[in-house]
Structure 1
Amino acid sequence: MQLNKFILYISFIIALSSCIEPFMPDTAKYENSISIEALVTNDPDLPPIVKIARNIPLMTRAEDNTTPGDKPVDGAEVYIICDDGNEYQLTNLRPGVYEAIDPVFTGEEGKSYKIMICHQGEVYESGFEKLVSSPAIDSISYEVDERKISDDGVTVRGYNFLVSTHDDSPDQSYYRWILDATYYYYLSYDADFIYHPPYGMIPYDNSDLKECWGSKNIPGIFVAGTEGLVENSIVEAPLHFESQYGDELTVRYRLHVRQLKITSECYYFWKDMDKIINKTGGLYETQPFRLMGNIICSSDPSSNVTGIFEVAGVSEEVKYFNKPEEFPVSGYNCTKIEVGTEENPWIAIDAGTIIIYDEKENQYFTSDALCFDCTLRGGTTERPPFWDF
C-alpha cells in the first residue's frame, strides 16, 4: 500500500542520524490521523479495494521517543456509492483491507462513484468521481540505463522501461500505471545424488526443478500528465528499472502494464507523494506540507485525513523482452564446491546435500540449494496459462 510505505519511509528517515538539523514542528504532537487509499475501476481484474490505516504520530516529543509506523484500521463500515442509487458495502477481509465480495461489482464508464467510511463515530467521504475510459497504450519500450548503487561509485546496468500513450480528446490527460512482471528462468546444474549418511549417496534427479516462472508486483509511483504540452500525448514516460543482476532478465521477461485514466487531483496527490518519498532526504529537512487528497472527514472537518479515492478507466498492454544483448546478465551466483577432499571431507558434509558427480574426473561437487531447485528462488514450475514462449 503506497500510503503505508510512505509512513514507514518517513519514520525510518527520522530515526536516522543526519548532519542536517531536522525541523520538528508542533504538529508532531497531533492526534492519530487516518490514511485511506481506495480504487474503483472498470477492470474486472482490479476489483474495488479500500485500505485504511491510522498513522501513529511520527514524533512523540515525550522523552524524544520516536514511534514509527501505522496501524491497520479494522471494523469500519465502508461503502462505494454510485450515482444511480446503488450502494456496495465492502468487507473487512484482511487487516486494514476492505474488498467487495457480495456482490462483486465493476465500475462502469460514464457513471460516478463516491466513497463513505464510518468509523468510531466519524464519517470520511469523497465527492462523486466520474469513471472515464482510458485510451489504449501506444507502446511499451525500454532504454539501456546505468544506475549508481553505492556512494563509492558502483553502478549496475539494466533496462529502464518506458510507456507511451495519447488521447484524441482535446482536454489534458493524467495517468497512473500499475505494473506486474512475469519472467522465465532456468538452472544449469544437473543433480546426480543426495548425500544421506550412513547410506551414502542416493540417486537424485532435479530435472523437474530446473525451469521456473517468477512473478512480482512492481512497487513505485508511476504517473504522468499532458498539462502544458502542445499535444495530448505521453511519449516514453519512465516506468521501473530492471537490473542486470537477478533472474528477471536472464531468459525472457513479460511486462504487464495497466494504465489508469485519473483526475488532476489524483495526479497531484501521487506527484506530491513521490516528491516526499524520493526527492528529499527526509520529511523535516525541508519545510513540510500536508498531503491533500479528495477525502475529508465530513463529521469533523478539522480532523487530519490523508487519502485518495481513485475512479479510473483502465487499459492494458503486455510486452515480452528477451535476454538483453547490450550488457551481460547474471542470475543467482552458483559456484561448484568440491567435496570428498581433504579440505571438505565427507564427514563434514550435511545430510541432504545435493551432489554433482563428474564421472570423467571422478570428482564430487555441491553448491547452494538454490542452484538445484528453482522454486527456492521464488518461482513456480507451473507454466502460466498466458505465457507466450
Structure 2
Amino acid sequence: MLKKYLNFKRRLTKLYGKILIGVVPTKTIFFLVFSVFFFTNCIEKFDIPSEVDETVLASTLIVEATITNEIKRQKILLSRPSNFEVVNDLDSIYDPRFPEIPKEPGFSYERNAQVSVVDNKGNEYQFVETSPGTYLSNDNFAAEKDVEYTLNVITDKGTSYVSSAESFGSVGQIEDLYIERDFNVEGDEGVFIYLDGGSTSTSDQYYRYTYEESYKIIAPEWREEDFVLTNYDPCALPTVTYDLEIVKRENEEGKVCYKTDYSNSIIQNSTVALQDNRAVGFPVRFLNRNNYIISHRYSILVKQYLQSIDAYNFYRTLESFGSSENIFSSIQPGLLIGNIKAENDGDDQVVGYFEVASVTEKRAYFNYEDLFPEEPLPDYAVNCFPSSPPLEHPSYCYEGELNWPCPISILEGVNINLFAYYGENEEGIGACPGPYLITFRACSDCTVLGNSTMPDFWEE
C-alpha cells in the first residue's frame, strides 16, 4: 500500500472531523528522500532543486511490511523510486520473466533480495520472491501476542537493512459495520460505511483500516448475438478483406460479473480523546450515489489493525505530505523516520515501516434499491448509446490521396475488441452509417470490467 500511496494522489476527504488520509503524489518521494521529519511543529521553507540526483533515488529502498496475527503467507513488498519525470521508458522497470506484472512508471521492483523475519523465541521465517518485488513467507504463520519480530533484508547488491523489534499486545474488535444513506460535508449524497469498534485493552488507542470492496456488474446492453471477425486483412488491396459473422453466444457469460477493488489510501483513527476508548460511527468509506459500483449489490470487507504510537505517527506524517496543496511550499528538513535502517554506513536510505499488528475484520452488504428505492440507477461506467459507424475502411496500405471523414469502422472496432453487436441499422442512423448498430464492448460484455465468476464469499 505504501507504494500505491506514494504513486497516486487523491483529494483529502474530511468526514465529521475524522480524516481519511489522501494519497501522496509520486513526487513526494523526492521530498521524503531529501527531508527528515522531526515530530515537532516547526515548519521551514525549503527550495527543492530542479534536478534530483539519480544515485540518491536509486539508493532509497521502499519497504511495505505488515505482519499480522492471521495464519497466512505473510507479505513483504520491496521497490525503489525511479525517475518520475521519465514515464515513457517502461522497459527499464519491467521484468520480461514476469509478463503478468504490469509496467509501473515511477517505481522499479527490488529483485533477488534475501528477506526474513525472526522472533525473540528463536524462530526464523524465510520469504521467497513470488513476483517482482513481492516476497511471501515460505510457510503460513501468524504473529503471536507479546512476541517480538524483526525484519531483515539483504539486497542483491549486498546492502543489509534491519528493523527494530516490533510486537502487539492485544486484539481489536469490530463490533458493528453498518451502512447509512446521508450527505457528506461537501453536500454530496451517497452511502457511508460506518464502524463501531475498538480493542480489548484500554491502552490501545491507535487504529488503521483497510478495505476490500466487491460489487456486482450487470452489462446493460448484453445481447444474445455478437460479432465474430476472421480472416481480417486491413492492408489488403484494393480493399480490405474479412469475414464478419453475427453468431449466437454459447452462454450468458459477460451478462453478470463481479469486481473486487482494494483501498489504496491510508485510513487512521485515534481514540485518545474518547472516554471509553472505542470508536462509534467512524466513517471508513463514503460512496457517492452516482458511483456505478453500487448500482446493484455491493459488499465491503473492512480490516482493523491495532497500531503502536510510532506506526501511527509514521502514517500521520505521510498524511501531512499528501494533504498539502503544494507539498514543496512548507516542508520539514530531514528524512521521514521509520523503524528500518541500513546496517552499513553510506548513502543508502529507506522509506517504510515494519509493522506487527493484530487485525480483525467484518463484512457488510447492501443493495442499491435498499437505500434508494424506486430511484434511477447511477450511470454505467461507459456511455452505452448505440451508434452506427461504417462497416469497412480504406486499406491501410493505400498510397493514393485519401479523404476519409468517417469514424473508426466496425471492422477496426471489433478487431481491437472495442465494439459489440447491438442490432440492425434499419433506420440508417449515423453520419457514415453502416449496416449494424454497435455499442462499446464493456456495455455488452461485463468481463471487460470484472470477472464472470462469483466470489466464494458472495451472498445474495
> Number of matched residues?
359
Q: Distance in 2 between matches of 1:201 and 1:26?
A: 57
Residue 48 of structure 2 corresponds to residue 24 of structure 1: yes
Larger strand proportion, structure 1 or 2? Answer: 1
Q: Distance in 2 between matches of 1:54 and 1:334?
A: 38
Residue aligning to 2:171? 134
- Retained in 2: the 8 A contact 1:184–1:211? yes
Residue 210 of structure 1: how far off its partner (Å)? 0.9
Residue aligning to 2:281? 236
Letter in 2 for 1:355: Y
Residue 330 of structure 2 corresponds to residue 286 of structure 1: yes
Residue aligning to 1:43? 70
Residue 202 of structure 2 corresponds to residue 170 of structure 1: yes
% identity of equivalent residues: 22
- Retained in 2: the 8 A contact 1:122–1:300? no
Residue 250 of structure 1: how far off its partner (Å)? 0.5
**Inter-CA distance 335–74: structure 2 relative to 1 (3 Å threshold):** closer
**Inter-CA distance 272–185: structure 2 relative to 1 (3 Å threshold):** same
Residue aligning to 1:82? 119
Residue 296 of structure 2 corresponds to residue 296 of structure 1: no
- Retained in 2: the 8 A contact 1:79–1:87? yes
Q: Which moved more, 1:313-322 or 1:345-354?
A: 345-354
TM-score, with length taken from structure 2:
0.68
- Retained in 2: the 8 A contact 1:141–1:162? yes
**Inter-CA distance 357–156: structure 2 relative to 1 (3 Å threshold):** farther
Residue aligning to 1:307? 352
Structure 1, unaligned runs of 5 or more? 16-20, 60-67, 149-154
Residue 96 of structure 1: how far off its partner (Å)? 2.1
Give 3-state SS (helix, strand or coil) of 1:375's partner.
Answer: helix
Structure 2, unaligned runs of 5 or more? 9-23, 31-44, 86-104, 229-241, 394-408, 415-419, 427-434
Residue aligning to 1:65? none
Residue 338 of structure 1: how far off its partner (Å)? 5.7
Q: Distance in 2 between matches of 1:147 and 1:187?
A: 33
**Inter-CA distance 186–299: structure 2 relative to 1 (3 Å threshold):** same
Residue aligning to 1:96? 133
- Retained in 1: the 8 A contact 2:170–2:199? no
**Inter-CA distance 188–286: structure 2 relative to 1 (3 Å threshold):** same
Residue 183 of structure 1: how far off its partner (Å)? 0.7
Residue 254 of structure 2 corresponds to residue 209 of structure 1: yes
Give 3-state SS (helix, strand or coil) of 1:129's partner.
Answer: coil
**Inter-CA distance 132–27: structure 2 relative to 1 (3 Å threshold):** farther
**Inter-CA distance 262–11: structure 2 relative to 1 (3 Å threshold):** closer
- Retained in 2: the 8 A contact 1:375–1:381? yes
Residue 453 of structure 2 corresponds to residue 386 of structure 1: no
Residue 423 of structure 2 corresponds to residue 356 of structure 1: yes
**Inter-CA distance 105–13: structure 2 relative to 1 (3 Å threshold):** closer
Residue 386 of structure 2 corresponds to residue 337 of structure 1: yes
Q: Distance in 1 between matches of 2:28 and 2:332?
A: 14
Residue 260 of structure 1: how far off its partner (Å)? 1.1
- Retained in 1: the 8 A contact 2:170–2:200? no
Residue aligning to 2:6? 6
Residue aligning to 1:376? 448
- Retained in 2: the 8 A contact 1:81–1:114? yes
Q: Distance in 1 between matches of 2:250 and 2:292?
A: 22
Q: Distance in 2 between matches of 1:134 and 1:291?
A: 28
**Inter-CA distance 202–14: structure 2 relative to 1 (3 Å threshold):** same
Residue 92 of structure 1: how far off its partner (Å)? 2.2
Residue aligning to 1:118? 154
Cα RMSD for the two superposed structures: 3.5
- Retained in 2: the 8 A contact 1:180–1:215? yes
Q: Distance in 1 between matches of 2:162 and 2:243?
A: 68
Residue 298 of structure 1: how far off its partner (Å)? 3.2
Residue 185 of structure 2 corresponds to residue 183 of structure 1: no
Q: Distance in 1 between matches of 2:28 and 2:342?
A: 29
Residue 310 of structure 1: how far off its partner (Å)? 0.7
